[in-house]
Chain A
Amino acid sequence: MIKINNLQARVEDKEILKGINLEVNPGEIHAIMGPNGSGKSTLSSVIAGREDYEVTGGSIDFEGEDLMDLDPEERAHKGIFLSFQYPVEIPGVTVSNFIKTAINESRKGRGEEPMKAREMLAKMREKTALLEMDKSYLSRSLNEGFSGGEKKRNEIFQMAMLEPKLAILDETDSGLDIDALRIVAGGVNKLRTADNAVVVITHYQRLLDYIKPDFVHVLFNGKIVKSGGPELAHELEEKGYDWIKAENA
């Protein structure tokens, strides 16, 4: 589905990604772990097309198409979704209005008709129920005054509404209490099909107890320095990152 080849990126003069290789196929779940500042959020932003980062080398193919020249919204239309580590507040814009606009713009981008109001409503009802959210959420200003956990849950709600092919969840578990974690992870699992894929960025095993990865990668200093199966996550949980740092010093 997505094929990242020797990807390098920087901000101003600072090299952040120094040659990332990663391939994700439909139906797979990948976990990316790594110490703070290693470049995990940068990688997800670059995939989503954030212009603050300058791509200095390598390529990203999505379903056989080069992503580099596409605007962020075009990538979204193709089915790439990023759950932000720090979701952004937009005062005065309600969650429902926002998601309605997002869905219909994506449809327009794909040459489809806007979604019927009734269908939209039904879908919102269904997905709020899935994530055990109160419907009053929908009429609140987007992320404004939301607690950390509410923001993350709202990200997954939007993912549920948009039904992306590739979802990248950047530290979606941080800020969630145990119950919320279970609900959010349950939601992600229910949204899984053989055709879509998930990349989870996390520090903790506990999320991976719910969302079981097929592959685990360790990102360190702008490179994937280790890949393995679910057992790698356990090993990291036990030993921390020091041995990775030592190995790559």
Chain B
Amino acid sequence: MSDEILDEITASDYKYGFTTDIESDTVPPGLNEDVIRLISEKKNEPQWMLDWRLDAYKTWLAMVEPEWHNVTYTKPDFQAVSYYSAPKQKKELDSLDEVDPELLRTFERLGISLDEQKRLSGVAMDVVVDSVSVATTFKKTLAEKGIIFCSMSEAIQEHSELVRKHLGTVIPKRDNFYAALNSAVFTDGSFCYIPKGVRCPMELSTYFRINEANTGQFERTLVIADEGSYVSYLEGCTAPSRDENQLHAAVVELVAMDNAEIKYSTVQNWYPGDAEGKGGVFNFVTKRGICERNAKISWTQVETGSAVTWKYPSCILKGDNSIGEFYSVAVTNNYQQADTGTKMIHLGKNTKSTIISKGISAGKSHNSYRGLVRVGARAENARNFSQCDSLLMGDQCGAHTFPYIEAQHPTAQIEHEATTSKIGEDQIFYCNQRGIGTEEAIALIVNGYCKDVLNQLPMEFAVEAQKLLEVSLEGSVG
């Protein structure tokens, strides 16, 4: 990707107003060059990787934590984060009896198998063996097609040139505060390469990956779909992970070369904090993909977890005829806050993008859609359609819509629509009359409302996502 384009995207005029207040004391004593050297050394990384990290670190030092988003939280103490112990070993429990019973109840509602429950709650058993063997089986099938699917650490060792060529090309180190931090200190993540013309025969999921459960706060994912290839990638766990980590600052980069297609689905369900708004994960994620000629990237996300979410999976439609899609459901309840959306940057000719966003706010939560559609001066015949709907449950919550639309070409066709609604009492009564209780009725109506997005998810995922919506809205009707 040429520097010119990168500049166009990251140039200072588009930052939603990154501004103000340089806090001189934000340089955390917990993080310094030695720590980064240590991480790199522990992981036995090549020199270029270390240099890259150090450069990112220098960039980060000069940056300010963003404040333009519509969320309020106590800023993480970067000092308190232990970067070098990244792949945190969780305390191993001896049996399910030691697991928080509330967590187990949720597992049951989600219909997760006992073995799976054990794996997710970190009970020591043959799980590791299991997943290793599962992983190896799949790895063999994948290897036959030339597909590389491994941890980022492994990729840096085994496929150094590929990583080096693409890492940071979609999301430069200087892109934003959290991306810079991630670039400096990321500990692991996934790497995926689909060779030319190969259609990946199965959904790739982080589930199958070794070490996944303990990947640290700073995850780094890179998916490369070479010319004419196809891959569907699933990320996230569909059970609430009571992670102690306060801050998750992941970076995901997608490269879709000519005629390639990447489908990236996320179900995010980190710990949202309790009903009083205590605790919970800060989820500050940077996700972006670049499309070359005739390529297509499709982001689908179901966001129900985290105390604070800040996330804009985006597409740079660089190649002619490329397509970007964003399908999102974001649910906030209690004191959760979500500021999420997408950026569709149309650079090539005949590029197309679609945005479907469904926000649901309940309790005392705040849910914001923030998006950008930009049609560049050379993007002849660009098309965009956006639909951003909000559903409010109760009068203590808020729904916000902040779309930015910038068009610089007369042939651009952009359509944006947004609506706000609530669940009608007549709808609930109708369901009641047919024997469906109110809580169940709300789940049904909400699932219907989100259908256009849920339909984009792979089958198994969709079912779990549906249940997840139910669980996260539990108790939201008074």
B433 adjacent to A90 (CB under 8 Å)? no
Binary A-proximity of B195-216 (CB < 8 A = 1, otherwise 0): 0000000000000000000000
For the complex, is A169 an interface residue (Cβ under 8 Å from B)?
no
Minimum distance in angstroms from A87 CB to a CB of chain B:
7
A49 adjacent to B432 (CB under 8 Å)? yes
For the complex, is B416 an interface residue (Cβ under 8 Å from A)?
no
- If A73-B437, A105-B437 touch, does A90 touch B432 (CB 8 Å cutoff)? no
For the complex, is A20 an interface residue (Cβ under 8 Å from B)?
no
Residue of A nearest to B434 (CB): A102
B450 partner residues in chain A, CB cutoff 8 A: 92
Interface size on B, residues (CB 8 A): 23
Minimum distance in angstroms from B452 CB to a CB of chain A:
7
Q: Given the complex of chains A and B, what is the CA–CA distance between A102 and B437 in angstroms?
A: 9
Q: Which of B427, B436, B447, B449 contacts A73 (CB 8 A)?
A: B436
B426 adjacent to A92 (CB under 8 Å)? no
Minimum distance in angstroms from B160 CB to a CB of chain A:
47
A88 adjacent to B436 (CB under 8 Å)? no
For the complex, is B448 an interface residue (Cβ under 8 Å from A)?
yes
Q: Given the complex of chains A and B, what is the CA–CA distance between A5 and B431 in angstroms?
A: 27
Q: Given the complex of chains A and B, what is the CA–CA distance between A206 and B451 in angstroms?
A: 41
- Contacts of A73-95 to chain B: CB distance below 8 A: 73, 75-77, 81-82, 84, 87-93
Q: Which of A73, A81, A101, A142 contacts B432 (CB 8 A)?
A: A73
Indicate the size class of the contact surface on chain A: 20 to 34
A106 partner residues in chain B, CB cutoff 8 A: 434-435
Known: A72-B432, A73-B438, A90-B445. 16 other contacts (CB 8 A): A72-B433, A73-B431, A73-B433, A73-B437, A76-B433, A81-B433, A84-B433, A90-B427, A90-B430, A93-B448, A98-B444, A99-B434, A105-B435, A106-B435, A142-B448, A162-B435
A-B contact list, 28 entries, CB within 8 Å? A48-B429, A49-B432, A50-B429, A51-B429, A52-B425, A71-B432, A72-B429, A72-B432, A73-B435, A75-B433, A76-B434, A82-B433, A90-B427, A90-B430, A90-B444, A90-B448, A93-B445, A93-B448, A93-B451, A98-B434, A101-B440, A102-B434, A105-B435, A109-B435, A142-B448, A158-B434, A162-B434, A162-B435
Which residues of B come within 8 Å of A, CB atoms?
424-427, 429-438, 440, 444-445, 447-452
